Amino acid sequence: MILDGIVNWLDRLRLQLSRHDALLILSVLGLICGVVAGIAIALFRLLVESSQSAMLPDGGVENYETLPPLLRFALPVIGGLLLGLIFLRFSKGLYVLGIPRVMERLVYHQGHLSLRGFLLQFFGAAIAIITGHSVGREGPHVFLGAACGSLLGQYLSLPNNSIRTLVGCGVAAGISASFDTPLAGVIFALEVVMMEYTLVSFIPIMLAAVSAHNVSLMLFDGERAFDIAIIQLGSLHELVFILLLGLAAGSASAAYVHLIQLFSDKTQKMAFWIRNALAGVLIGLCALAVPEVMGIGYDTVNQILLGELGLNLLVILVFAKILATAASIGLGIPGGTIGPALFIGAAVGGIIAPLPGLVFEGQVSDPGVYVLIGMGAVMGAALQAPLAALTAVIELTHSPEIIMPGMLAIVIANLVSSELFGKSSMFHTLLEATGLNYHTDPVMQSLRRTGAAGFMNRNFVQVGPYLSRDSAKLIFDQNPEWILIKGAEEEMALMPGVDLLRNLEQQEKDELDLFSIPATRYELAPLPMQATLQEALEKLDGGSAEALYIEWFDQAHYWRIQGILTRAQIESAYRF
């Protein structure tokens, strides 16, 4: 009895979640998703950092610069070969991971991510970072968080519109746990991945970001990604250098995106394991000359923030990091692109930082100001996500004074990359390079947010193909809007109730053949109860059916038709 009660409660819960306004339940699920995603991301970080501490000299995380030249070359090569073998054996055609994969699954597969993808991303990205490939951890964090949300929703058999929201919760949790920037995680999830701002998604995503942030704080004792001292801002006269920084960051971002696209396009026909091995060789060669490009590079970013690197080295780092990351990502290494974008932006900012002191007398902005704004500018331009980048910079500095110069540089960088050089978001570029198109529009976004079960019509009666007049009169005591006719060999049709009533009044036959009487009849096709209105519309557009019937378990746990959905109902749902 208790088990039956739980099952019935879950069925009612699923039906409620199929509507667009199930805010309270989604908020609880978002909170749970954030905790689960935060734990998964923490385990990933612990695996990477403990492996680096055990392997690298002096127990330092990312201390690749102290490795002998031969090891600096050999380590990425070994990593590339190992990744190639793992994907050859276990991927079963799944080669695109990270944030692009999450976006593609949201648009075309209702946010359904697999356990296989989770494991490939977890261990693949860990191997890539540990062996010194020039990739970031934020993309893998986002994928792991999104996969946690998706798998949780699939395990509970939730409607697909709710699974989409849980994926967004996981995305926000990934960014929040990476930088300890929960608000930036929320903005990133809504601006970059889900591309929508609605109350029903906003609050669960906020709760997920906060809960993942707290998990990170508890497990890592508040350890921050960057060592940011007190920021000293100068005068408004320096805005000309902020403008210059925006131009330089936009140009660097365009080169970054273009080179990734070039590597991906030129090697797409190669076997995946060969591409991974080639990436290892190229990174090894880069590491021989510039070891700072190995790994995520946050130790080098911290040195730039503190002004410890010379101008010549910073210029070299910009070009070397762009080349190394483009080789890694473009050749299929399962890592992230946000961390390298921050590295490149920091180096660009470090190059611009000394210039105000050469022009203006007296107090000028702290070099860290230019470094941080450069990080936000390259990130915002590469991802075409200015609001998420600006929010990240504000949260990292805890300084509202950085908003105005940061906004100026980020907007200029976005315009330079998109309008001057014609570059789109890096994630869209990666999807297109692998043959996966990415398209969305407001109508589809609205339909994805609502489950089909939330708008199905339950005012129907299911009958056989032959119906006596007495039975028909009893049926009309229920005042049904639709008559669902189920014949032999799964032959089905849908008839308006008024058509059957008219035939009863016009004909004197004792028995009516519902498949032959003059009436409007719609061909039917099945639709799972978890489906969204978008899936329902695509089913109607892609087949011969004119209406859909929605199946789910009844209280006795038998499959039963629960409702009817027509094209007119879908259109009314969008207008509503």
Looking up residue 514, the CATH number of its domain turns out to be 3.10.580.10
Q: Which domain holds residue 510?
A: 451-575
Boundary-marking domain end, from 226, 245, 268: 226
Same domain (yes/no): 428, 493: no
**Residue 217: how many other CB atoms lie within 10 Å:** 14
Is the pLDDT at 387 greater than 80? The verdict is yes
Residue 282 pLDDT class (50, 70, 90 cuts):
very high
231 located within any domain: no
pLDDT greater at residue 448 or residue 87: 87
Range among 243-252, 299-308, 539-548 with highest mean pLDDT value: 243-252
- Domain count across the chain: 3
pLDDT for 146: 96
Domain termination residue (choose one: 226, 244, 277)? 226
> Above pLDDT 90, what percent of the chain?
42
Segment 157-171 mean pLDDT: 90
pLDDT tens string 10-31: 667 777 777 666 788 889 999 9
Clarify whether residues 217 and 249 are in a common domain: no
Mean pLDDT of 529-543: 86
Same domain, 376 and 455: no
Nearest 5°: phi and psi at 522?
Answer: -110, 135
Domain assignment present for residue 6? The answer is no
**CATH number where 347 lies:** 1.10.3080.10
Contact 26, 104 (CB under 8 A): no
Question: How far is the C-alpha of 451 from the C-alpha of 453, rounded, in Å?
Answer: 5
pLDDT of 479? 85
Residue 7's pLDDT band, with cuts at 50, 70 and 90, is: low
Residue 2 lies in a domain: no
Mean pLDDT over 352-373 rounds to 84
> Over 60: is that where the pLDDT of 1 sits?
no
pLDDT confidence bin for 463, thresholds 50/70/90: confident
Residue 271's contacts (CB-CB under 8 Å, 6 or more residues apart) are none
As a whole-number percent, the residues of the chain with pLDDT over 70 amount to 91
Instruction: Locate the DSSP E strands across 508-574.
Output: 511-513, 522-528, 547-553, 559-566
Q: At residue 436, does pLDDT exceed 70?
A: no
Selected residue with higher pLDDT from 566 and 437: 566
- Picking from 176, 248, 218, the residue whose alpha carbon sits closest to that of residue 395 is 176
Q: Tell me if 39 is assigned to some domain.
A: yes
Contact predicate 102/143, CB 8 Å: yes
Instruction: Please give the backbone phi and psi of residue 460, each rounded to the nearest 5 degrees, phi first.
Output: -140, 165
What one-character DSSP code corresponds to residue 417? Answer: I
Clarify whether residues 249 and 343 are in a common domain: yes
For residue 435 the two structure tokens come to 């043959």
> What pLDDT band is residue 554 in, cutting at 50, 70 and 90?
low
Contact 178, 137 (CB under 8 A): yes
> Cα(218)–Cα(42) distance, rounded to whole angstroms?
10
Out of 226, 252, 270, a domain closes at 226
Same domain for 389 and 418? yes
Q: What is the pLDDT of residue 551?
A: 81
500 and 528 part of one domain: yes
Asked whether residue 62 falls in the same domain as residue 143, the answer is: yes
Looking at the domain assignment, is residue 125 inside a domain?
yes
Express each pLDDT in 97-123 by its tens digit.
Answer: 889 899 888 888 888 999 999 999 999
The whole-number pLDDT of residue 575 equals: 63
- Alpha-carbon distance of 269 to 279, in angstroms, equals 15
Confidence band (pLDDT; 50, 70, 90) for 3?
A: low
Long-range interactions of 8-17: CB distance < 8 A, separation 24+? 8/555, 10/156, 10/157, 11/552, 11/553, 14/156, 14/157, 14/158, 14/159, 14/453, 14/529, 14/530, 15/453, 15/454, 15/529, 17/158, 17/159, 17/161, 17/162, 17/451
Residue 35 lies in a domain: yes
Mean pLDDT lowest among 60-74, 217-231, 500-514, 531-545: 217-231
In the prediction, which pLDDT does 314 show? 95
Q: What is the pLDDT of residues 39-66, one digit of tens each?
A: 999 999 999 999 998 888 876 778 898 8
Q: 213 and 304, same structural domain?
A: no
Give yes or no: residues 59 and 126 share one domain. yes
